[in-house]
Structure 1
Amino acid sequence: MASSAKKKQAAVRHVALLRGVNVNGITIKSADLKALFVELGFGAVRTVLASGNVLFDTDESDAAALRTRIEQALRKRFGYDAWIVLLTQKTVAEMASGYPFERIDEERHPYIVFGSDAAMLDEIMEKAGTVDAGTEQLKRGKGVLYWQCPRGESLETPVAKLLGKVRYKTSTTTRNLRTVEKLLGD
């Protein structure tokens, strides 16, 4: 006999990547960030580094509603224009494993640009045009851009300046590949 009751979905590990935290005057302590996610009812909440990375479990399946709820809570609690990219930890692992450039390089940094709007990622690729491979590399991936630039120049290269435009702040955020790999260890 089939049950008409909805079967409860198992909790899934998520990663919330906050944009612009602990830079440009927006300071949020990791303990306060964790407390907010716990208050929102999420399980196994853990922050990673001080750059706005939160791991948590939830059985909520509507990603868009979940993202909106978290962004609104961040705005209300911390008083800033909060934007996040929200992904499952499994998806982040798949994105990280697809990094196409050298992962360990003494001269360059490996980055992943996460996006919640595919059209914006496509626009960035288009506007970047032909990238000078002697300076940096940029490649489109599924839901991300893979980027590699010289150490110490992550704010100075043509791609860096493009990524810093206000137009992209609501839908993109960048993380060093080493940070991303720390998000996968839990």
Structure 2
Amino acid sequence: MNGSATRFAILLRGVNVGGVTVKMADLRAVLQSLGLLEVQTLLASGNAVVTSVLEPAVLKDTVEHALRTEFGYEAWVIVLPMARVAELAETVPYAADDPAVHAYVTFSSDPAILDELLDVGAAGGQEQVRLGPEAMAWTARKGLTLDSALSKATGKLRYKSATTTRNLRTLRKIAGAG
């Protein structure tokens, strides 16, 4: 424990897609049962904002274990201080409302994984930029996201346990909940 409470974003990987259904009310109840405070869930894509005295790595392990136990799936989460989420949301150099292009941010608990993904994106001609050790921003033409090099790569087993992606509009909503 670090002794002082910090506001964190918890970003779940792969919920409410691919047969894994987690109702946000149920997610909120599980997080509250862990002793987390000021628990908010946002949208239906597996986003929560909580207050905790736990260090980020301990919070990550605690939440993943609870989700695996409660919902019976291989749960992975990214945990970031809300101040960092807000900073990253403002750093993205792409427009959130471009009528032709979606802007995304991929988060990782392993900076080396983001290095690999940047190489994959570059080889695929992906528009992308590294935002920091834990995040990269990229774009995909509307209607072609699932065909993009980065979308295909992050769906592979190698990357599932260490990454999750959010649309820039979603990321800004999360940042605004801090």
TMscore range, shorter length: over 0.9
What residue number does 1:166 align with? 157
For the residues of structure 2 that align with 1:28 and 1:154, how far apart are their CA atoms?
24
Segments ≥4 residues shifted beyond 2 Å: 101-104, 127-132
For the residues of structure 1 that align with 2:124 and 2:147, how far apart are their CA atoms?
14
Q: Which runs of 5+ in 1 are unaligned?
A: 1-7
CA RMSD of aligned residues (A): 1.6
What residue number does 1:13 align with? 7
CA contact (8 A) 2:89 2:175 kept: no
What residue number does 1:97 align with? 90
Aligned to 1:77, what secondary structure does the other structure show?
A: helix
CA contact (8 A) 1:131 1:137 kept: no
- The 10-residue stretch of structure 1 (31-40 or 137-146) with the greater mean CA deviation from structure 2: 137-146
Letter of the 2:127 counterpart: Q
TM-score (structure 1 length as normaliser): 0.90
What residue number does 1:150 align with? 141
Does residue 185 (structure 1) correspond to residue 176 (structure 2)? The answer is yes
What residue number does 1:3 align with? none
* Matched residues, number: 176
How many Å apart are 1:50 and its aligned residue?
0.5
For the residues of structure 2 that align with 1:68 and 1:82, how far apart are their CA atoms?
10
What residue number does 2:52 align with? 58
How many Å apart are 1:171 and its aligned residue?
0.5
Aligned to 1:129, what secondary structure does the other structure show?
A: helix
For the residues of structure 1 that align with 2:166 and 2:157, how far apart are their CA atoms?
17
Aligned to 2:44, what secondary structure does the other structure show?
A: coil
How many Å apart are 1:131 and its aligned residue?
4.3
TM-score (structure 2 length as normaliser): 0.93
For the residues of structure 2 that align with 1:158 and 1:123, how far apart are their CA atoms?
12
CA contact (8 A) 2:41 2:48 kept: yes
How many Å apart are 1:9 and its aligned residue?
3.2
Q: Which runs of 5+ in 2 are unaligned?
A: none
How many Å apart are 1:160 and its aligned residue?
1.6
Q: Between Structure 1 and Structure 2, which shows a larger proportion of helix residues?
A: 2
Aligned to 2:137, what secondary structure does the other structure show?
A: strand
